[in-house]
Amino acid sequence: MADKLVADKHLRYILNLMAEKKKESFESVVMDHLRMNGAYWGLTTLALLDKLGSVSEDEVVSWVMTCQHESGGFAGNTGHDPHVLYTLSAVQILALFDKLNILDVEKVSNYIAGLQNEDGSFSGDIWGEVDTRFSYIAICCLSILKCLDKINVKKAVDYIVSCKNLDGGFGCSPGAESHAGQIFCCVGALAITGNLHRVDKDLLGWWLCERQDYESGGLNGRPEKLPDVCYSWWVLSSLIMIDRVHWIEKAKLVKFILDSQDMDNGGISDRPSYTVDIFHTYFGVAGLSLLEYPGVKTIDPAYALPVHVINRILFTK
Ligand code: GRG
């Protein structure tokens, strides 16, 4: 049982994972193809703990740039293929370090805009898979780069709304089951584009607050599934964006996240007693940030970056 966030242990865990000597570890090897996402999860956790200064900015930024392709998109690692999933993480990492100025914004934004389809949806890369995750990524990325005018926002929004279900939630495509991860994407994209009035807030808020497991306090991603720390992010951020976060029991959720920490070696896992990983470490700390846990910096629920970073980007020229 844990009664506090062991921030120093999480810092050690993340720094070890990023260090060269750990490149052969199991977690490192299975993450090889999505290292860009892993870097975003680890670095944003550090930023929320006010420890971003513990890593070499030059090293990270130059590695990020080695992952960019001629098309303008970024890959998950050096020598891999580009995809919007990694392009958003690359842009977010540069934003964390206040280094967006080194980007060829024209090139990156053309890559993303070129993936919009006739019906307003977005493909993730040249191979064409369509998913509301990619709609969110395109909108979030282009908003950070101040290039939303490069896409047809109205069509993008109408497509997202076409993925809304009778239960108030959203799926990955029209008619697909509501899932908290996709709900974050759809609500986030609607928030960024000023279209939250197209969400049925009470209906969706009810579906989202029903994700809380009464016993453990943790949240799941859809009915009948196990609670998982990462939904502290996907569900809570959505509830905050639609102004219904007071519909869950915050103290119980804080306890669930704290109980999922590895108190000896740092890191946070899916749920108490499971094995930690960087994904759950990030979404656990990000969840605590949304829960206003003391000592954790505030994260923006739509952009998934610290509020001070978003303010720097959106409110400066
Ligand atoms: C910048 C935060 C951020 C996100 C970028 C990639 C993306 C946009 C969003 C992903 C949203 C999503 C679908 C999250 C869910 C991830 C997850 C834990 C899926 C597991 O699904 P199942 O079916 O698990 O394996 P359940 O919990 O339903 O049993």
DSSP label at residue 75: B
> pLDDT digit string (tens) for 155-166?
999 999 999 999
C-alpha of residue 25 to centroid of ligand 1, in Å = 24
What is the model's pLDDT at position 22? 56
* pLDDT, tens digit, 9 for 90 and up, residues 249-269: 999 999 999 999 999 999 999
For residues 284-288, average pLDDT: 98
SS3 at position 164: strand
Q: What are phi and psi of 100, to 5 degrees?
A: -65, -20
Please indicate whether residue 1 or residue 229 has the higher confidence score (pLDDT). 229
Q: Tell whether the model's pLDDT for residue 21 goes beyond 60.
A: no
How far apart are alpha carbons 219 and 235 in whole angstroms? Answer: 8
Mean pLDDT of the chain: 96
Residue 312 to residue 256: CA distance in whole angstroms:
33
What is the helix (H) or strand (E) element at residue 269, kind and residue range?
strand 268-269
Task: Return all residues near 65 (Cβ < 8 A) that are at least 6 apart.
Answer: 102
Residue 257: helix, strand or coil by DSSP?
A: helix
Q: Which residues line ligand 1 (CB under 6 A)?
A: 85, 88, 133, 136-137, 181-182, 184-185, 221-222, 225, 228, 230, 234, 304
Cα 251 from Cα 72, distance rounded (Å): 44
* Ligand 1 midpoint to CA 150 (Å): 27
pLDDT for position 23 = 67
Q: Closest residue (by CA) to atom 28 of ligand 1? A: 221
φ/ψ (deg, to 5) at 32: -50, -40
The per-residue pLDDT for range 183-220, each reduced to its tens digit, is 999 999 999 999 999 999 999 999 999 999 999 999 99
DSSP state letter for 276: E
Q: Which domains does the chain have, with CATH numbers?
A: 7-315 (1.50.10.20)
Cβ distance 5 to 261 under 8 Å? Answer: yes
Task: pLDDT band for 317, please (50, 70, 90 cuts).
Answer: low
Distance in Å, CA 181 to ligand 1 centroid: 4
Overall pTM surpassing 0.75 (yes/no): yes
Residue 27 in this model has a pLDDT that exceeds 90: no
